[in-house]
Every structure is written in structure tokens, then in C-alpha cells.
Amino acid sequence: MDSHVGSGKVITAPLITEDGRPIKDPLVLLEATSSQNTSDDTSTSSTNGNEIDESASRITDKLIIDWKLTLHQIGLDVLRTDRTMVFYENKENLSKLWDILAVYAWIDKDVGYCQGMSDLCSPMIVLLKDEADAFWCFEKLMRRLRGNFKCTDQSVGVANQLQYLASIIQVLDPKLHDHLEILGGGDYLFAFRMFMVLFRREVSFGDSLYLWEMMWALEYDPDIFFAACEDASAHKSKVSKSKLRGVRHFGKWDKDKDKENSKNGSEDTDGPVPISVFMVASVLKEKREKLLQEARGLDDLIRILNDVNGNLDAKKACAGALKLHKKYLKKVQTKKP
């Protein structure tokens, strides 16, 4: 498909024009191959970065053109991903991240590549030495999350989660919800990034792994889970087998539904509210007083929430999310006739 993929290079300028003509010597800022990684090569590429290669044949396949046009954007995002980590001082690891995202952008033609995917892929590169293993783990993760990246002029991919969040805050903290609406944040779009990249920017790298595992482990029906816990605590006896079967059932990932959601790029809106929604709610609860007292507009709202970046305590936020979750269920149940 393209000789740059797998070459150890990270492409940061267009490889092709919008009408399919290859660009000669595209700009390469990083190369994993040390023998080619010289400043002279970089400056030469930069000088000739926009020169059309007339000798190369023009590409007419629109799918290939669209794919090639995303490759330099992937490169730019790769250079900004987890740059404080020593792991990425090794240029070979950067090129692995670029390779995986480039290949994924081709196999998922419906979604392609979107900003934020590099944040989701990076842990796979760090944890798994084999590039193929890292790719397929990322591909499996994207089956769950690709719906987040499907945006139109009318809606964003995380729209369902934003609606859940609005409903939860309205029930648990009407005063805060009304204040956010007055500020123009009633659509909760300020939480867009938290859902999109699963809190990668809000917590440290290590905490993000803890957070992901916790969220994926909580694929249960929360009503049954808490009922089982309360029953065990009250009677100091074993939980009934029927309830445990219920917990196991809701904790199991539905493969058929997974395939269907992957095919349609949709989220499962029939099941329980994702724990990630209560995670965001716990962040808002923690910043509640500051939001009520200091936020006088959307800029203030975003500034206050940006203070969380890299400073969120994952374990504390998880505990807060579960408490809010339990409180929400009780309030909803008491309102039922």
C-alpha cells in the first residue's frame, strides 16, 4: 500500500495531493533507522516537501487517496503522544505507533483515523513488545470505542454518554446542572474528551491502565451487583446462586452484540449506564464548589476542568463514581410509582 509503513519512518507531511499525485520526498521528522536519521536528510526532505513527483503514476482510487492523506496527520499526532515518557525516546517505538494507526486507518474505512486514537493505542505499544499483538489488541479495543469517533454535523459519537451525564447530574445535583445550563454548558460537550480517550489526559499513564481495567471489569448490571453486596453484608451469609449467576451474566461481554456494534459503529444504549459516565460525574462533584463560585462562562468552566489534567487520582475517582452510582440508583428507584 505504501512503502513508508513499516520502514521505521514517521511521516509528518502529505504523501500525496488531493487529486492523487504523489509528492516527492515528503517531510520526515523522525526515522527509527539510525543510519538514515541525519539532520541533512531532514533538511533536504523539508526543502523538497511540496515537490510533485511527476515520474510516479497518479493514484485514482479515492479510498487510497483518502487514506494516504491521513498518514501525515497520524505522524503529527504520534509526535505529541505521551512525549514525556522515556519509552518514546526510542524512535522505533514511535514508528510502531505510527504503523499501527496507519494500518488501522486502512482496515476501518468507515471511521479511518481520528485525533485521540493515538492516546488509546499508546498503552498497547508500551505493554506489548510484539507489534502484531499490539495492533490486534488496539483493533479489539476500537470495536468497543469506534462509535465514539463517528461524528456528523448533527451529533458527536459520545452523544449518548453526554445525555446520560446530563440526566445523572440533573438527578444528583440540580443546582449544579442549572448553573451549567446558564453557562451554556447544558449539552455537557466540555466532557467530550474524557469519554473520547477514556481519561488518558486526566490521569497519569499508570493510573489510566488501572482505570481502564476497573471500568472493563465492571461490565455487570449494577442493580444486581449492589443487591448481592447488601444481601451478603446484612445476612453475613453466602449470596444466592441465582444472584451470582446474574452478576456473571451481566459481567460477560456479549460477542454477538460486540460484532453488531462494531459493524454499525453504535453504542449499546439498552444496557446499564457505563461506569465512565459516573467517573465524569465524580470529577464534576469534586469541582462543584469551584464551578458554582468561579465559573461565569464556558471559558471559566473549561479552565477549571482543565486543572484536572494529569492530576486526577484514579482510585479516588473510581470510589467516588461507585458511590454516585449507588446514590443515583436509589434516587431513581424512589421516584418510581
What's the pLDDT at 127? 95
Helix (H) or strand (E) holding 154: none
- Considering the domain 153-223+273-336, what is its CATH architecture? Orthogonal Bundle (1.10)
CATH topology of domain 16-32+58-148: Helicase, Ruva Protein; domain 3 (1.10.8)
Instruction: State yes or no: pLDDT of 110 exceeds 80.
Output: yes
**pLDDT tens readout for residues 286-337:** 999 999 999 999 999 999 988 888 888 888 888 888 899 889 988 888 776 6
Say how far residue 263 (Cα) sits from the centre of its chain: 18
Residue with cell 479552565: 303
What's the pLDDT at 25? 66
What b-and-e string marks burial along 207-241, b requiring 16 or more CB atoms within 10 Å of the CB? Answer: bbeebbebbeebebebebbbbbeeeeeeeeeebee
Residue with cell 453484608: 233
For residue 22, report the phi and psi dihedrals to the nearest 5 degrees: -60, 145
Let me know: does 281 contact 324? Beta carbons within 8 Å: yes
Gyration radius of the chain over CA positions? 23
What is the grid cell recorded at 260? 453488531
47, 246, 263, 329 from 240: Cα distances, Å: 72, 10, 38, 22
Across residues 57-86, what is the average pLDDT? 91
Nearest Cα neighbor of 199 from 158, 171, 235 is: 158
Q: pLDDT tier at 51 (50, 70, 90 boundaries)?
A: low
pTM attached to this predicted model: 0.76
Residues of the chain with CATH 1.10.8.270: 16-32+58-148
Rounded CA-CA distance 62/82 in Å is 33
Across residues 63-75, what is the average pLDDT? 92
First vs last C-alpha separation in the chain:
61
Instruction: State yes or no: pLDDT of 136 exceeds 80.
Output: yes
Q: pLDDT tier at 181 (50, 70, 90 boundaries)?
A: very high
Segment among 56-65, 133-142, 298-307 with least mean pLDDT? 56-65
Across residues 91-110, what is the average pLDDT? 94
Q: pLDDT tier at 116 (50, 70, 90 boundaries)?
A: very high
> How high is the mean pLDDT of the chain?
79
Residues of the chain with CATH 1.10.472.80: 153-223+273-336
For residue 23, report the phi and psi dihedrals to the nearest 5 degrees: -95, 130
Collapsing DSSP to helix, strand or coil, 24 comes out as strand
